[in-house]
Chains A and B, each alone.
Chain A
Amino acid sequence: MNSSEQTAPLLEVRHLSKHFGAVQALNDFSMAVRPGEVVALAGDNGAGKTTLIKAISGVFQPTGGEILLRGQPVTFATPQEAREKGIETIYQDLALADNLSIGANIFLGREPMRKAFGFLPVLDRKAMAVAAKQTMGRLDFHVSRLDAPVSNFSGGQRQAVAIGRAVYWDAQILIMDEPTAALGVPEQRKVISLIHQLKAQGRGVIFISHNLQDIFAVSDRIVVLRRGIQAGERKISETNHDEVVKLMVGG
């Protein structure tokens, strides 16, 4: 179906383990994401999906194993470090400041400044708005009211803003935690189409979802976790719902 098997992985996780005291949340887990590939992570609650993405995104350090970015071993002490290396996590609860514009959200924490009257540093709102328009345009998301706070937009549109922020800062790996969970059906389709855009741009996406429909609509491969171990990995083109469910529940 595609030649991604041959290209070098963008991100690779090898024999990753994480335990909290006596609890083994993740055990000798391996997977890889190639450029332009969408890998779905599936598994029941408590299977270790969240532990895995938190280890990859620098929220905490794995107890064992290694993470490779373009073949180089990396360790992240903080989520900031992971983000600087191009790994961005889109959280389920979005992490947007609802009272700020799209541009202000994209630049939150790294706002561009300009000099007014030649000396007074002020926020460069125009640059933020221009960048917002361009970035959202790349996601096929067209807004005319760039100064409106993001609370004016719908759930799917705000999801697009969160993704837009990652795209603007040139994230190569996007980890998306249940991006469609809180959305209505048309909005879910919009997010799925956004993921297709990311894929077309050659980024790697790790897509976590409970919704097999969405997983089959957007992913190239699916990795199933069960009680911290890798219960199976399938190409989407070579599997079906029943098989995935069996892998998840261990039937």
Chain B
Amino acid sequence: MTSTSPTETHVAPQADHGDPARSWLARVAEGRAWLFLAGLIICFEVWSRLSFGATFVLNPFNVQSIAIFAVAPLLLATGQTFVIISGGIDLSLGFIMGLAAVVAAHATNMAGAAMPVPLAMMLGILAAVIVAGVPGVINGLLISRLRIPPFIGTLGMFGVARGAAFLLAGGTTVPVQNSWFALLGNGRFYGVPYLVIIAAVFVVVMHYILSQTRFGQHNYAIGANVQAARRAGIDIRGHILRLYVLSAMCAGLGGALYAARFTAGAAQAGEPLLLDSVAAVVIGGASLFGGSGTIFGTVAGALVIAVIQYGLVFVNVEPFWQFIAVGLVIIISVLIDQAQRRFSGARQDE
């Protein structure tokens, strides 16, 4: 009995004798998306100056173009961030965005016949976001109630939303007749595109939800250990349902803004953006196994992809190199993540 007195057996928390090299690596891994972004910008700047004697990043037109370019993938990626942190994935976001773009176009046109132009625009956006919520509800119910794996459930919804979007669009693009809507998509406020302002506000709100609310906190807990979350009394089913509705509505807003930018709704609007959204989240530091990731990381991830895509065009490289470059960044990003986990995750008793 004497050998087990509390004072004798005190074990100091080992995290406290932190090795500086580890925390250094952890910090690099945490901010790797921003490091990538900085590296890329420097790279393109040098390239541009050497080849064309022109600046890349100091040219406001380039900055604006990249920002606008990044808006739609970023909106998908913010929703995807929540889903991936919870340990799931949402493959239907691309076509939910397309569906929403078509709905936004139709709804704005229909409303435009009966009410003032600005009101019709708002109704169109609202309709897009709400209609996008429907596949989100179905995704959520499939995953939470029927226990269908997110990959399969949202893959099914990918097909359903795709078909619905093309049917609704009649197989073509649907032009929008609304001057305010066009202004929203192409206008500027003191030189900053409205689209970028909307995306920035949206990102701040989503960051708040993820980092400062119970919903966000439970999302991290569920991603790390569903069993623990359930035992702590968290309503897992309700959470998963709200989660997929949230991500679908992000895509809905993305679709509405797409319709504003191109003054037309197209079913295939989000098709190439789905994998970009996953890539942005992963480059941004989230783990596909769930439990980690941040909104600002995802912002950096989305910007990395946008800079690669725009930058390679700017320096006049064949566009196919974009895919290779983005693919390499994803792989490097995951390698850094794993290296960091191996160093800092090793526990004494394992």
Seen from chain A, the residues whose Cβ lies within 8 Å of a Cβ on chain B are: 79-80, 83, 91, 93-100, 104, 108-111, 113, 116, 120-123, 140-145, 148, 151-157, 182-184, 186-187, 189-190, 192-194, 196-197, 217-218
**Which residues of B have CB within 8 Å of A193?**
4-6, 8-10
B291 partner residues in chain A, CB cutoff 8 A: 97-99
B316 within 8 A of partner (CB): no
Q: A154-B348, A156-B349 are in contact. Are A143 and B16 (CB under 8 A)?
A: yes
Interface status of B181 (Cβ within 8 A of chain A): no
A109 — which chain B residues lie within 8 A by C-beta? 218, 229, 232-234
> Is B179 interfacial (CB 8 A cutoff)?
no
**A184, B349: Cβ atoms under 8 Å?**
yes
CB-CB under 8 A for A155 and B3, given A91-B231, A93-B227, A100-B217 = no
The CA of A86 and the CA of B291, in the complex, are separated in Å by 30
Alpha-carbon distance between A184 and B9 when the two chains are bound, in angstroms: 13
Known: A104-B217, A145-B16, A155-B347. A189 touches B228 (CB 8 A): no
- Whether A97 lies near B225 (C-beta < 8 A) is yes
Task: A109-B233, A113-B214 are known; give 19 further A-B pairs, CB within 8 A.
Answer: A95-B225, A95-B231, A95-B232, A99-B223, A111-B214, A123-B213, A153-B14, A154-B11, A154-B347, A155-B348, A157-B11, A157-B13, A182-B349, A187-B11, A187-B349, A192-B4, A196-B4, A196-B6, A217-B1
Query: Is B80 in contact with chain A by the CB < 8 A criterion?
Result: no
Smallest beta-carbon distance B350→chain A, Å? 8
CB distance from A81 to the nearest CB of B (A): 11
A148 to B26, CA, bound (A): 12
Q: List 6 tightest A-B contacts by C-beta distance, closest first.
A: A109-B232, A155-B349, A152-B15, A97-B221, A108-B232, A122-B212
Which residue on A lies nearest to B223, using beta carbons? A99
Point out the residues of chain A lying under 8 angstroms from B14, CB to CB: 152-154, 157
> Is there an interface contact between A153 and B5, defined as CB atoms closer than 8 Å?
no
Instruction: Enumerate chain B residues within 8 angstroms of A122, measured Cβ to Cβ.
Output: 208, 212-213
User: Provided the pairs A121-B213, A123-B217, A153-B14 are in contact, do residues A97 and B229 lie with their beta carbons within 8 angstroms?
Assistant: yes
